[in-house]
Structure 1
Amino acid sequence: MIKWLVAITLIHVATYTSTSAAEQSHSELGGIAAAALEEQARSRGLQSIHVEVFPLDQRVSLPECVEPVRVLKDRNQSVLGRVTIGMRCETPEPWTIYLRGRVTSFASIPVLTLPINRSEPIGEGDVVFQEMEIDTDLRGVVLDTRQIIGKIAVRNLIANEPLRQSDLKAPQLISRGQSVNITSRAGGLIVTMKGKALANARAGDRLWVQNQSSNKRVEGEVTPEGEVLIR
């Protein structure tokens, strides 16, 4: 979807004073810019893209390009939000112009149905998918409900807003001094023994435990089931 608004950044335009020669179509430039911005967004895996290109000031006059206008791509620029795109013509007279625009995408994102206070767990009924317009990078945003349900709120969370990894933490599975199962896997051999946790831990944490048979201390990874796995 393409919508037109108003603004332009003009870097360099060659002197052009002829009133009889053909002029470059503003709408054509806007269409080229919009298509290029949409293509860049799709190349990042985005869907349902909405592009707004801010058209040229009507006082700007450019000689018509007799060859395809070349789009100047900036690989370091974000494909969402406020963007700038450059276009270059060489013939009959060289000119370079930069248009500005805004690119958004619609995505189905899991959000909370109600506010969750800090340190409270998030249940299955607390999460729904909501179609949202986004204009920023989704890195860090949680898109899978399995990474939300059962987690603990790190801070007070509001409803209907995307959740980030930093908003959530795994619940504590093991307490210091608790008896735990230690599983050792090596060369196809699996050995299970009892141990004592030497600290509190969550799933995925590295935890030191004391083997109750040998009194030796070993370190392993806490599984979602609350066991300690030694590889």
Structure 2
Amino acid sequence: MKTFYTVLSGVMLAALLNGNATAAEAMDPAKLRQAVDAFLQVQSAGLPGKVTVTVGNVDARMKLAACPAPEAFLMPGSKPWGKTTVGVRCAAPSPWTVYIQANVSVLGNYIAAAAPVPQGQPIVDSQLATMQGDLTTMPASIATDKAQVLGRTSNIAISAGMPLRLDSLRIKPVVQSGQLVRLVSNGPGFKVSAEAKAVANAADGQVVQVRTAGGQHISGIARAGGMVEVAF
């Protein structure tokens, strides 16, 4: 009987040791989440605001072999912005790949209408307010600085409180299609000026093409006052 208990104790000890070894060889879910968090912190560096990364839970029932160097990556088309999915893969000793849900929130300033903004009229400072919120939940191409919208006109009427989107704003042209403009060019020891006709609309600083009296097409930089700067 003593021999039987001795053998049984040895079997139980071996099973316990094997169980501990198996647990030690399994990938710790916490390390997976740490890899995702560290990866998103790097990927979101430089975003315009205070970034907060939240990593979803990892299914504890999932058994992955331990990996000394798990590599996190973004799936094609994914961004470190809002709700996203991050992959984590292991190359050796046992290759595997797992996908983990995460959320990247960006608390920052955005520009909203403090008063109604009529369609087609230049936007002035008194119509604007600086607000704060999670930029990842805002419309695409949201304005984050008043300088981005002042002087522009809106394609639509904007109600008070609505965020301003850059893709719905137009820059007032300083040169219009068909307008007679003054071509100017300066260089070491010379200054040239000639008359031409604009082929398209252009805002200050934009490239515009003009046609000279001789029919030649030239590209230059549109400037206020109906001037186009040309470099020769």
Describe how 1:130-169 pairs up with structure 2 within 5 A: 130-135=131-136, 140-158=141-159, 159-164=161-166, 166-169=167-170
What do the CA deviations read for 1:102-156 (whole angstroms, capped 9, x no partner)? 1122232333323323211111222333323122799855444333211111223
Which one has a larger percent helix, Structure 1 or Structure 2? 2
Identical positions, percent: 19
What do the CA deviations read for 1:61-84 (whole angstroms, capped 9, x no partner)? 42672x535023237431112222
Describe how 1:73-152 pairs up with structure 2 within 5 A: 73-74=73-74, 76=76, 77-88=78-89, 95-135=96-136, 140-152=141-153
CA 163–191 in structure 1, closer or farther in 2 if over 3 Å, else same: same
Instruction: Say if 1:201 and 1:207, in contact at 8 Å, map to a contact too.
Output: no
Q: What is the aligned counterpart of 2:33 among 30, 34, 38?
A: 30
Q: What is the aligned counterpart of 2:58 among 56, 59, 63?
A: 56
1:55: how far off?
0.5
Aligned residues: 205
Which residue in the other structure is 2:13 paired with?
none
Greater Rg over alpha carbons, structure: 2
Which residue in the other structure is 1:40 paired with?
43
The alignment's TM-score, normalised by the length of structure 1, stands at: 0.66
Instruction: Say if 2:85 and 2:102, in contact at 8 Å, map to a contact too.
Output: yes
1:207: how far off?
5.5
Which residue in the other structure is 2:229 paired with?
229
Unaligned runs of 5+ in 2: 1-17
Which residue in the other structure is 2:5 paired with?
none
CA 75–37 in structure 1, closer or farther in 2 if over 3 Å, else same: same
Identify which of structures 1 and 2 has the higher relative contact order when contacts are C-alpha pairs closer than 8 Å and 6+ apart.
Answer: 1
Q: Matched residues in 1 for 2:91 and 2:180: separation?
A: 76
Are 2:72 and 1:72 equivalent residues in the alignment? Answer: yes
What do the CA deviations read for 1:157-197 (whole angstroms, capped 9, x no partner)? 34441422x3222224456786654423355422345x475
Unaligned runs of 5+ in 1: 1-17
SS at match of 2:85: strand
What do the CA deviations read for 1:183-224 (whole angstroms, capped 9, x no partner)? 23355422345x4756784433626477xxxx6566554303
Instruction: Say if 2:32 and 2:70, in contact at 8 Å, map to a contact too.
Output: no
RMSD of the TM alignment (CA)? Answer: 3.9
What do the CA deviations read for 1:26-82 (whole angstroms, capped 9, x no partner)? 34432332222222222x556521122221234x142672x5350232374311122
Q: Matched residues in 2 for 1:24 and 1:31: separation?
A: 12
